[in-house]
Amino acid sequence: MIYFDNSATTKPSRGCIAAVTEAMERRFANASSLHREGVLAKSDIDSCRKALSLQLGCGASEILLTPGGTFSNNLAVKTAVEMQRRRGSRIVISSVEHPSVSECVKAYESAGFEVVPCNPLNGDFEKYINDKTILVSCMYVNNETGLILPVEKLAGIIEQAGAPALLHIDAVQALGKLPVDVSRLGCDMLTVSAHKINGPKGIAALYVRRGVRISPLTYGGEQENSLVPGTYNSPACAGFAAALRELSDKDTAHIERLYCHFTTRAREFDFIRVNTFGEHAPHIINITFDGYLGENVLHYLEQFGIFTSQGSACSSHSKTKSRTLEALGADRRTADCSLRLSFDFDNTEAEIDEFFTACAQIPQRLIRFYK
3-class DSSP state of 159: helix
Q: Does residue 16 have an active-site annotation?
A: no
| Among the listed residues 305, 284, 286, 308, the one whose alpha carbon sits nearest the alpha carbon of residue 296 | 308
CA distance 229 to 218: 7
Name the H helices within the chain.
Answer: 14-26, 36-56, 69-84, 99-109, 124-128, 151-161, 182-185, 234-246, 252-266, 294-302, 323-327, 332-336, 349-359, 362-365
Q: Which residues, at least 6 apart from 296, have a Cβ–Cβ distance to it below 8 Å?
A: 366, 367, 369
Residue 25, burial from CB neighbour count under 10 angstroms (0-12, 13-18, 19+)? exposed
Report the DSSP beta bridge partners of residue 309: 340
How would you label 97-131 residue by residue, b for 16+ Cβ within 10 Å and e otherwise?
bbebbbbbbeebeeeebebbbbebbeebbeebbee
- Amino acid, res. 58: C
Number of residues in the chain = 371
| Among the listed residues 47, 128, 138, the one whose alpha carbon sits nearest the alpha carbon of residue 97 | 138
Determine which one of 16, 314, 337, 359 is catalytic: 314
State the greatest distance between any 2 C-alpha atoms of the chain, in Å, as a whole number. 69
Q: Active-site residues: which are they? A: 314
